[in-house]
Amino acid sequence: MIRHLIRQVVKFGQVEDFMKASKALNEVGASLGMPAYRVYHSHWGTFNEVFSEAEYESAEELNRLMDSFGKDPVVSKAFGEMTSHLVDGEAHDYLLAERVLD
């Protein structure tokens, strides 16, 4: 199991529009088998910082779904709408694997 975590900074005054666009992206992404991303909005630290996360069985599953995601015009449009609310250069992806502590 892996976790795809995305750190994003949303433009001032656009947080609610970003949240609506994220919900729409989750809805169209589901048509391709994407899991719904959970969204967390920071109340301290960087203003308008948002984290999104979803779990996948493997990195291969994530890559396969992202490939199909990018080829679908409806999903690509929804992704473009969501990312239009981000500060340029302020979106970072992390692929996290759990470590079992001995």
CATH for 2-92, among 3.90.580.10, 3.40.50.620, 3.40.50.300, 3.30.70.100?
3.30.70.100
State pLDDT tens for residues 24-59: 999 999 988 899 999 999 888 778 999 999 999 999
**Domain residue spans in the chain?**
2-92
pLDDT value for 6: 97
pLDDT value for 14: 95
Q: Is 42:49 a contact under the CB 8 Å cutoff? A: yes
- 62 three-state secondary structure: helix
Residue 92 tokens read as: 């970072």
- Residue whose C-alpha is closest to residue 11's, from 45, 38, 50: 50
Q: What is the Cα–Cα distance from 75 to 31, expressed in whole angstroms? A: 9
